[in-house]
Amino acid sequence: MTKQSRLLAVAILTLSCLAIVAEAQRGRPGRGGRGGGAESLKKPFRGVAADGEIEAGLFQIESSGVSTKPVVDAANALLAGLSDEQRARTEYGVDDIEWRSWDNRHFYKRRGVGFDEMDEAQRKAAFGLLEASLSVKGLKLSKDIMKLNGTLAELANNFDEYGEWLYWITIMGKPSETEPWGWQIDGHHLIINYFVLGDQVVMSPVFVGSEPVHATSGKFKGTIVMQDEQDKGLSLMRSLTTEQQKEATLATLKDQNNALAQAYKDNLDLDYAGLNASKLTAVQTTALLKVVESFVGNMSEGHAKIKMQEVKRHLDRTWFAWVGGTEDNSVFYYRIHSPVLLIEFDHERRVAPFRSASPTRDHIHAVLRTPNGNDYGKDLLKQHIEQHHSGHEHPAEKN
């Protein structure tokens, strides 16, 4: 072997090792469905934390003034239309570990009642629950992600692992206008956790994405998702000055998957990084809020407004971070992080029907979380239990 060949071999080995280390540092659970996150689920819920500490006092039980009765009625209609056996698989306790057992990947074993087994009336009732809980935009995005999973089945010729109807719903607690409860939809590239307490709603964690993001053939030709979130993020980055961009940029090279807050990352340690929103102009702040609205706006309009008010109260403690380029065709990752909001958008490597070594705009992952212990509404639930169930038996998180 020549000296040049030896140097090339060493370089390839070094790059391979670095890739392995990077994957390990992201801490993504291994294949194998629910077992992949078993270790994470054994640990008590804490929440996403900056500097390793949960900040107390950020969330309060208070009236939002936005009725949740349509959501309660829709959930009860869904449950009423299920068989006894289906209902038994769908209902869980309000603080059951099932909340945290979601996975955005396709091979994961789901629980609950599946759209694939529902008859027409049941499927209508399931979509009725989503319609009552989400905005028009949020409902359309959910349906389009499901359709594109059908497109992926066509492209991969694999209808066992992918498909429009391979999504499952569970109900946590009893639907009520006064007591805590919630619902979850769980499937490939679409997870919504929706907690309700009185007229308050916490919709997180939310995972949305797709591969492909645009159906150019097949049954769902023309369906396209995540362009608004992509374009508004890029527009925000481009609105920054050169110095601001330097401060926001964590890395200019985007050669791997960068999302951190996906499945089994309920106790993620993530420090604030990038550019602080206090350094933005009024026009740039508006651009930042438009990005946030593209995610928060998937909730029903009334509750989305409440969430946006919460976000605005913490603008001076909001950070924007970026990985990648800023050209029209660049792949990139961005993060918006505050005490009450975490958004990640990531162009990812292709997985199916073929794998790619580099990220692509045709595979997108995005996550919305409520840091500091209020994912799944857990901070509000804890307060409710302390106020109303102190000294009385109340369901704790079950493993």
Give pLDDT < 50 ranges for the chain.
Answer: 1-35, 392-394, 396, 399
pLDDT of residue 36: 56
Residues in the chain: 399
The residue to which tokens 């629980």 are assigned: 111
pLDDT per position as a tens digit, 108-128: 788 999 999 999 999 999 999
Q: 261 is written with which tokens?
A: 């807050």
DSSP character string of 112-146? SEETTT--HHHHHHHHHHHHHHB-HHHHHHHHHHH
Q: Dump pLDDT digits (tens) for 10-30.
A: 333 333 333 333 333 333 333
What is the rounded CA–CA span in Å between residue 81 and residue 257? 41
Measured CA angle at 213 (ends 336, 264), to 5 deg: 50
The letter for the amino acid at 241 is: T
Q: Which two tokens stand for residue 243?
A: 């110095």
Q: What is the pLDDT of residues 248-283, one digit of tens each?
A: 999 999 999 999 999 999 999 999 999 999 999 999
Measured at the CA of 247, the angle between CA 241 and CA 253, to 5 degrees, comes to 100
Handedness of CA 200, 97, 77, 108 (dihedral sign): positive
Cβ density class 107-127: b for 16+ within 10 Å, e for less: ebebbbbbbeebeeebbebbb
Question: What's 278's DSSP letter?
Answer: G
CB atoms under 10 Å from CB of 12, counted, come to 10
Report the distance separating Cα 125 and Cα 87, nearest Å: 14
Tell me how far apart the alpha carbons of residues 351 and 366 are, in angstroms, rounded to a whole number: 16
Nearest one of 371, 379, 339 to 267, comparing CA atoms: 371
